[in-house]
């Protein structure tokens, strides 16, 4: 068994105070961290209720933990060399991996690029979005999602179907198996439908 941490580090947006405390009659200095984080800090999970119109009553505090622990996931790795920004269903099919699990990880190779221009980021076309939905998944992990200048609606369509998304994962290139198990640990905050999370792949 091999464990791969797919979580980005959160390296800012908090400060550390030192508090004097007394334990067992001795004085010590305790570090107390003050966090001021965006819900999109590091690697984060979106529940469908992140868009109000698709709120299904689940958030980071009440989503069933059994649906986030040791979830079977199919890994699709794309070789995007020489291709346009758009990812179509034909390219997903050509990867030759049967998507027969409730979760999918797509490694489009974006994170592995040494130089990244957000205006050139890859994105899923509408036919690819429909393709994923047809596979009856409920958990989607990818290093790319949307064309922000001309949205194709991946989040709208996924949330409409109750599909959770995990954004900004790390180390996808370290996954060498076509199937893994995923463990996702979001911060448990009532009412929060987008929160930082820890995500682990088990090979």
Altogether, the residues listed in the chain come to a count of 203
Task: List pLDDT tens digits, range 188-200.
Answer: 999 999 999 999 9
The ranges assigned to domains in the chain are: 3-11+38-202
pTM of the model: 0.93
Q: Which fold has domain 3-11+38-202?
A: Glucose Oxidase; domain 1 (3.50.30)
CA distance 69 to 57: 20
Mean pLDDT of 38-53: 96
At 116, list the tokens. Answer: 């990244």
Nearest to 123 by CA among 110, 135, 114: 110
Antiparallel, parallel or unpaired: β 71-77 and 103-107:
parallel
pLDDT at 195: 97
Buried b (16+ CB within 10 A) or exposed e, 20-44: eeeeeeeeeeeeeeeeeeebebbbb
Task: List pLDDT tens digits, range 159-187.
Answer: 999 999 999 999 999 999 999 999 999 99
Task: List pLDDT tens digits, range 96-152.
Answer: 999 999 999 999 999 888 777 878 899 999 999 999 999 999 999 999 999 888 889
Task: List pLDDT tens digits, range 16-43.
Answer: 889 998 888 899 999 998 888 899 999 9
CA distances from 177 to 77, 90, 198 (A): 10, 22, 20
């Amino acid at each position: 068994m091999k464990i791969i941490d797919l979580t980005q580090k959160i390296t800012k947006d908090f400060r550390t105070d030192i508090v004097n405390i007394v334990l067992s009659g001795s004085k010590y200095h305790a570090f107390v961290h003050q966090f001021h984080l965006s819900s999109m800090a590091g690697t984060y999970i979106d529940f469908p209720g992140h868009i109000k119109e698709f709120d299904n009553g689940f958030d980071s505090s009440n989503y069933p933990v059994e649906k986030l622990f040791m979830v079977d996931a199919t890994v699709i790795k794309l070789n995007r060399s020489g291709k346009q920004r758009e990812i179509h269903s034909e390219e997903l099919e050509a990867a030759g991996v049967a998507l027969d699990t409730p979760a999918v990880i797509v490694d489009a190779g974006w994170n592995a690029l040494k130089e990244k221009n957000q205006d050139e980021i890859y994105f899923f076309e509408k036919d690819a979005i429909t393709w994923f939905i047809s596979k009856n998944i409920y958990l989607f992990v990818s290093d790319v999602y949307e064309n922000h200048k001309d949205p194709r609606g991946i989040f709208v369509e996924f949330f409409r179907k109750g599909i959770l998304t995990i954004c900004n994962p790390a180390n996808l290139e370290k996954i060498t198996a076509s199937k893994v198990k995923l463990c996702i640990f979001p911060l448990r905050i009532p009412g929060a439908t987008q929160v930082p999370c820890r995500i682990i792949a088990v090979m």
